[in-house]
Amino acid sequence: MTSHVLDRVRDRAFAERIPLAVHFDLTYRCNERCVHCYLDHEDHGEMTTAEVKDVLDQLASSGTLFLTFSGGELLLRKDFFELLAYARQLQFDVKIKTNAILIKEADAVRIRDLGVRQVQISVYSHRPDVHDAITKVRGSLARTIAAIRFLSACGLKVTIANVLMRQNASDYHGVRALAKDLGAEYTLDPTITPKMNGDTSILALRMPEAQVLHLFKDAAVVGEGFCSLPTEADAETLDSAPCSAGHIACYITPYGDVYPCVQFPLPSGNLRQQRFDDVWHHSPQLNEVRSIRTRDLTTCPSCTYVSTCTRCPGLAYMEGNMRGPSSADCEKSMLRARAASPEGASE
């Protein structure tokens, strides 16, 4: 789908309140124990095969096109391929997120044959000792790389996702080179989020300011135009929705809970008690999220950086107020501006 057509589809979805994209975690169980993970890996009664299929039917009827299956680790569900096949029968455009250490050559072929559009795989370092220390699974990097080779050999689009933290802050060039060698795309993200239960202890893993600034000045990695000086916010900026969460996108937990986004754990309904359409259209929480425009935020409208900010309302919510600032995004916006300034370039 071309970017022009996709923009038109998104605009229509916004106008007609269509849940265009849904992120669906099938399980929180995982075979890794990543130091920065925000999930509780115990199984508290995840949805059955039949329940998941029923939810998929409801999403298809509601107009969902893009479906992301994630976890936890998806392949720990014995019915994963059955659910994936069912989703493709319903003609969802499917992306899966996995650590890939369970994927064998035959699994890669099945994923290809089922028509998955993209497989996103987390790689934290090109150095086994660093990656394996983050996942807490010895040999995990080697197994992940083997799976990427299987998937790439099948012609699948693979994206390596490189979450950065103190432990691997200097390794992104190595991971990027590894992705190129494996024929995979590369993305990075220096954002560490609180746990979904509100525990903020893992925020201590965030990269120090100086390292984030160094990263943002590396145009070869972040891209030209990523860093820019702020400009005065115009009326269009102030009247815009802060992000797509709750407007054209939402998140479903393994237990049927609906949130605006995986990073926005505002309980908005449960699909074991309600139909998806009822939650999507009538949830007071989702309707409150949809009502918010940038000019309604507590401090952002008068902020120097509002025109270039990538503020996440979910992170703001986890800090106590969905209409307030997100300190992590405030810092990133200021650092992007510093990196773009003549003074920042010489730091």
At residue 303, the pLDDT reads 84
The predicted pLDDT at position 118 comes to 97
Alpha-carbon distance of 192 to 240, in angstroms, equals: 26
Radius of gyration of the chain (CA): 20
pLDDT at 345 over 70: no
Note the pLDDT of residue 243.
Answer: 87
The CA-based dihedral angle spanning residues 37, 43, 48, 54, taken in that order and rounded to the nearest 10 degrees: -40
Cα 112 → chain centroid: 22
pLDDT of residue 234: 78
Q: Is the pLDDT of residue 47 over 80?
A: yes
What's the pLDDT tens digit per position in 234-258?
A: 787 788 887 899 999 999 999 999 9
What's the rounded Cα separation, in Å, for the pair 8 and 83?
30
Alpha helix ranges (H) inside the chain: 3-16, 49-62, 80-89, 105-113, 128-135, 140-153, 172-182, 209-216, 219-222, 235-238, 276-282, 284-291, 313-318, 327-340, 342-345
250 bridge partner residues: 22
- Altogether, the residues listed in the chain come to a count of 347
User: With bands split at pLDDT 50, 70 and 90, how would you rate the model's confidence at 347?
Assistant: low
pLDDT tens per residue across span 103-120: 999 999 999 999 999 999
